[in-house]
């Protein structure tokens, strides 16, 4: 049914792996930021979570992922060149900042504990296995569509649920790759959302064009022009 059929097994496993890793790191960072002399870690939690996704999405091998992952420990100290030849320098624009209070310092409790958390054997093992493929956005979008066709607070019989899942798949296949909407001047449009996972923080997402429902006409034509005429092949 779904165009991303390969995602059904491998992608879902990578989805679960990524979510478990992000949630685990986030909880540990949250706990660390509440410890004495470690308050600065809280300022870096969002950046570290973004770094997880970026590390997975831009790397092609385990050593490459490890090199990029370790770079965050230099970045939080305002150091943007690294010893690992696989990732010798940060790719972002390096700009000077007058707010030096956000940077961590070596040989401080905050940095020592952060380094210990980020480089322990289990974390490094998980980072090396992060996949650059099958990121979570498509799967999350499909889950959201399923909830529109089959809300969790409504009980459906088996056939009803199956039909709603089929409709969800057809709607996603037709609209999953909709382009970003543009203004009259041709500028791309964005919308502001407040995901629960971000605890009140907003994020800007591309505002896509309106969905289409061509699959409805296809279903109606199939039913009235083929199934009603000769239902035997469909029994």
pLDDT of residue 53: 84
For residue 8, the model assigns a pLDDT of: 46
**pTM for the full model?**
0.61
| C-alpha distances out from residue 110 to 28, 85, 86, 120, 228, Å | 13, 27, 27, 16, 71
Cβ-in-10-Å burial (0-12, 13-18, 19+) of 27 comes to exposed
Please give the full DSSP string across 75-121, using - where no structure is assigned: HTTT--B-S-TTS-B-SS-----S-GGGS--TTSHHHHHHHHHHHSH
Domain boundaries, the chain: 5-129, 136-234
Q: With H, G, I as helix, E, B as strand and everything else as coil, classify residue 201.
A: coil
pLDDT score recorded for residue 198: 63
Regions of the chain short of the pLDDT cut 50: 1-10
pLDDT of res. 19:
67
Q: According to the model, what pLDDT value does residue 46 have?
A: 86
pLDDT at 200: 65
């Amino acid at each position: 049914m779904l165009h991303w059929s390969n995602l059904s097994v491998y992608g879902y496993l990578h989805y679960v792996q990524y979510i478990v890793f992000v949630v685990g790191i986030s909880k540990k960072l949250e706990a660390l930021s509440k410890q004495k002399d470690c308050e600065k870690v809280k300022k870096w939690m969002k950046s570290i979570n973004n770094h997880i996704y970026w590390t997975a999405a831009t790397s092609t091998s385990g050593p490459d992922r490890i090199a990029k992952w370790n770079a965050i420990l230099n970045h939080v100290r305002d150091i943007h060149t690294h010893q690992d030849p696989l990732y010798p320098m940060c790719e972002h624009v390096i700009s000077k900042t007058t707010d030096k209070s956000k940077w961590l310092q070596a040989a401080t409790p905050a940095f020592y504990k952060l380094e210990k958390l980020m480089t322990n054997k289990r974390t490094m093992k998980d980072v090396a296995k992060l996949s650059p493929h099958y990121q979570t956005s498509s799967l999350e979008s499909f889950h959201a569509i399923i909830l529109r066709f089959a809300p969790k607070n409504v009980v459906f019989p088996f056939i009803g649920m199956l039909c709603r899942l089929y409709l969800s798949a057809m709607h996603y296949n037709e609209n999953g790759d909709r382009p970003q909407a543009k203004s009259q001047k041709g500028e791309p449009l964005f919308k502001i959302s407040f995901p629960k996972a971000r605890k009140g923080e907003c994020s800007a997402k591309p505002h896509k064009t309106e969905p289409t429902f061509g699959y409805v006409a296809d279903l109606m034509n199939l039913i009235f022009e083929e199934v009603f005429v000769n239902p035997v092949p469909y029994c």
